[in-house]
Amino acid sequence: MADATQEPEDGIWLYCSNSAVRRAARQLGRLYDDAMGDTGLKGTQFSLLSQIWRSGEPTLKNLAEAMVMDLSALGHTLKPLLRDGFVELVPDEKDRRVKRVRLTEAGEAIQRELTSRWQAAQSRFDAAFGKEKSEELRRMLAFISSPEFAERFTAG
């Protein structure tokens, strides 16, 4: 068995799950960003718009939890979407201190447009990686991003 401090022949350290996932995320991020084309939006913004669309009008806290982001990172990612009129913050009907995120008409339109671009990128991913392996990868990553996994990891 190789020592984790040794470099493999290709120079990529393959003994850290965190590093491997981050490298893959950066690579996929670039590829999916390119798939968004000239819309001016990135894959992360499409993901956020899609999560809002699926959730209805989530609270900021619920949206951050669903995206596995802290509130400040969510705010940073929402800022250009708010500026460009794709989303709006509205007070909760029951507790005016709580803010909900809502897609605007422009946000719904761009989310629909980006969905077709995403579907093309997803088809290319499935073709390159294999449809069954792609589905299994998403299931594994969903588990890794779950609170249950975080609890198990933290518990040691």
Task: Write down all domains in the chain, each with its CATH number in brackets.
Answer: 17-135 (1.10.10.10)
pLDDT bracket for residue 15 (50, 70, 90): confident
For the chain, the 3-state helix, strand and coil shares in percent, each to the nearest 5, are 65, 5, 25
Average of per-residue pLDDT across 114-133: 96
Number of residues that this document lists for the chain? 156
Q: Quote the pLDDT of residue 6.
A: 54
Q: Quote the pLDDT of residue 1.
A: 46
115, with CB counted inside 10 A (0-12, 13-18, 19+), is middle
Average of per-residue pLDDT across 4-10: 57
pTM of the model: 0.82
CA atoms within 13 A on the CB side of 149: 9
